[in-house]
Amino acid sequence: MSTTALIVAAGKGERAGGGLPKQYRLLGGKPMLRRAVQALASHPAISKVRVVIGSGQQALAQQALDGIDVGKLVEGGEERADSVRAGLSAIEGEAILVHDAARPFCPPQVIDRLLAPLEFFEGAAPVLAIGDTLARASDRLNEPVDRTGMVRVQTPQAFRLAALRSAYESWSGATPTDETTVARAAGLTVAAVEGDPALEKITTPRDFARAEEWLLSRLV
Ligand code: CTP
Ligand code: MG
């Protein structure tokens, strides 16, 4: 199955601060977007990588991706889902991996785990168990929230391209935060595979600091 990776990098990175949209900030001396792209491009099953960027980010993206073949940069939209839609209409192939630039360290084993089920399922997503107790923020913590069977869903998420496209076409709810939400609503079969802590999303200044520390710890 020919597989294209679509990396959405059209956000503003407001929660991360730092002056520059976070995907262009350096992590261990390399732009986060470049790391996210290289992690996927280096997997033998991925034949193409395409990147969705924000309007006005052309120069930043070209600089961050210097020397890497990502074809023509795609312009994203207001919300992440708009950026994914823009990407979906710009790519071809049989399978797609949709991934956040804000998750720069994708282990190749996760990609193996995601692509294997596509023979039988229309999609697959990496999940991690929830270790903490759950509660509703608005109550006085007196309403139990059962975490049995609950998981956190990461990206990349893998789909047969035609199936994900038609799921997005039939989506009529509020802005979805990921593709499994859209796929589930359209009745697609999505396999859950084991995620990885290295795929944690980088959202806040603290996440940047943690990622820098983690990179340093891998050097020793
Ligand atoms: N994204 C996108 N288009 C948007 C919004 C987000 O392509 N309109 C991308 C981001 O670039 C990121 C991923 O979706 O790779 C996950 O979004 P998030 O972590 O929320 O990033 P930002 O939206 O950039 O950050 P913030 O919400 O703090 O502004
Ligand atoms: Mg956002």
Tens-digit pLDDT string for the chain (220 aa): 899 999 999 999 999 998 899 999 999 999 999 999 999 999 999 999 999 999 999 999 999 999 999 999 999 999 999 999 999 999 999 999 999 999 999 999 999 999 999 999 999 999 999 989 888 877 677 777 899 999 999 999 999 999 999 999 999 999 999 999 999 999 999 999 999 999 999 999 999 999 999 999 988 7
Angstrom distance (rounded) from CA 114 to CA 120:
12
Residue 84 CA: nearest ligand 1 atom is 7
Question: Which CATH number covers residue 67?
Answer: 3.90.550.10
CA–centroid distance, residue 144 to ligand 1 (Å)? 31
- Ligand found nearest the CA of 20: 1
Residue 139 has a pLDDT of: 64
Q: Please state whether beta strands 30-31 and 26-27 pair in parallel, antiparallel, or not at all (unpaired).
A: antiparallel
The position carrying tokens 């960027």 is: 53
DSSP per-residue string spanning 132-179: SPP--TTS-S-S----TT-EEE-S-EEEEHHHHHHHHHH--SSPPSSH
Count Cα atoms within 13 angstroms, Cβ side, for 196: 17
Alpha carbon 101 to chain centroid, angstroms: 6
Query: Does the Cβ of 73 fall within 6 Å of ligand 1?
Result: no
Q: At what angle do helices 80-88 and 161-170 cross, to 10 degrees?
A: 130
- Ligand found nearest the CA of 156: 1
* Domain count along the chain: 1
- Ligand found nearest the CA of 10: 1
The position carrying tokens 């120069």 is: 59
Q: Residue 139 carries which side chain, given as an amino acid letter?
A: D
| pTM score, whole prediction | 0.96
Residue 126 has a pLDDT of: 98
Q: Which one of 7, 12, 23 would you pick to mutate in the ligand 1 pocket, going by the greatest count of ligand atoms within 8 A of its CB?
A: 12
Contacts of 85 (CB under 8 A, 6+ apart): 77, 168
**Residues constituting the chain:** 220
Token pair for residue 89?
A: 């209409």
Report the phi/psi class of residue 13: left, alpha or beta, with left for phi > 0 and alpha for psi in -120 to 50: left
CA–centroid distance, residue 135 to ligand 2 (Å)? 23
CA–centroid distance, residue 84 to ligand 1 (Å)? 11
Give the range of the structural domain holding residue 102, as residue numbers without chain letter. 3-219
**Helix, strand, coil content of the chain in percent (nearest 5):** 35, 20, 45
